[in-house]
Amino acid sequence: MPHKSGSLKGATLRVACILLSLLAYPAAGIAAQCGSGPRGFDAWLQDFKSRAAAHGIKPATVSLALSGVTYDSTVIHLDRSQHSFKLSFQQFYARRVDGALINRGRSLMRTHRATLDRIEKRYGVPGAVIVAIWGLETHYGADASARYSILRSLATLAYDCRRSEFFADQLVDAIRIVARGDLPPSQLRGGWAGEIGQTQFLPTPYVRYAVDFDGNGRRDLVHSVPDILASTANFLASHGWQRGGSWQPGSANYGVIGQWNKAEVYQRTIAAMATQLDGGR
């Protein structure tokens, strides 16, 4: 990121779906007086620090996480520049999935077979589905954008008046990621809308569904492949994935894929790519 709205190699659709999903997470009442430009941001940030501390996060952690955070006009420009686009499933799939993506996915499934088997045993989600999501979100980590500070981006979007409540809640949970010791502020980098890691979790689902699958005491969705894959499976399992069931359109598991991404074209692409990775299941 960022990519032009017509480019589907990047995160345009994912960001659009983030913005369509604002009602999925209840507001925690953390938002304060918003603004439409940099004036007033510093005062807002000081007020936000007090409010965040009132949500059970140590003031020292809040101060550490938000140290040096400034208003980012680039993020506001990107937010204002989002455009809708209409592609058929066939068009979208052809642009996003090619032989190289499938072959790389199959290779990674072989490399991580033991981990994927453990994940399926625990969560019931097949490796092909998890790897399809991994490939579509960031080309298996190759496109996991680290251009933007998550804390700065979310603070800017929380201060902006368009979606203050939603992004303020996301900012609180980003600070919780720091407080838990999962990632330091310097490593909380990703997409301009707050997406973190190789399968692009927003902070709230990160806090809810990220798991420590490599046993090092941290839930690291940026660097740890076991954590990344298991957390993705945990999200799906927590939303009702049925062990051993089909993931094709019309199935219960296909409906669960819809909890990952609200766009029908993206859901169908996950299902179709997983089928290809699985050898035509």
For 74, half-sphere exposure in the C-beta direction (CA atoms, 13 angstrom radius) is 10
pLDDT at 253: 99
Average pLDDT by stretches of 10, the chain with 281 residues: 33 56 47 82 95 91 97 95 83 96 98 99 99 98 86 98 94 98 96 96 98 98 98 99 98 98 96 93 52
pLDDT at 10: 44
b/e sequence 222-237, b meaning 16+ C-beta within 10 Å: bebbbbbbbbbbbbbb
When computed from its CA atoms, the radius of gyration of the chain, rounded to whole angstroms, is 19
120, 137, 165, 195: the catalytic one is: 137
Contacts of 140 (CB under 8 A, 6+ apart): 104, 105, 108, 131, 134, 198
pLDDT at 71: 98
Q: Which two tokens stand for residue 110?
A: 């072989």
Amino acid (one-letter) located at 272: A
pLDDT at 280: 58
Contacts of 11 (CB under 8 A, 6+ apart): 1, 3, 145, 191, 195, 200
User: Phi-psi region for residue 189, left (φ > 0), alpha (ψ -120 to 50) or beta?
Assistant: beta
Contact 48, 160 (CB under 8 A): no
The domains located in the chain, with CATH, are 12-82+148-186 (no CATH), 89-144+208-277 (1.10.530.10)
Angle at 113 between CA 107 and CA 117, to 5 degrees: 145
Does residue 137 have an active-site annotation?
yes
pLDDT at 86: 83
Q: How many CB atoms are closer than 10 A to CB 146?
A: 14
pLDDT at 23: 42
pLDDT at 32: 60
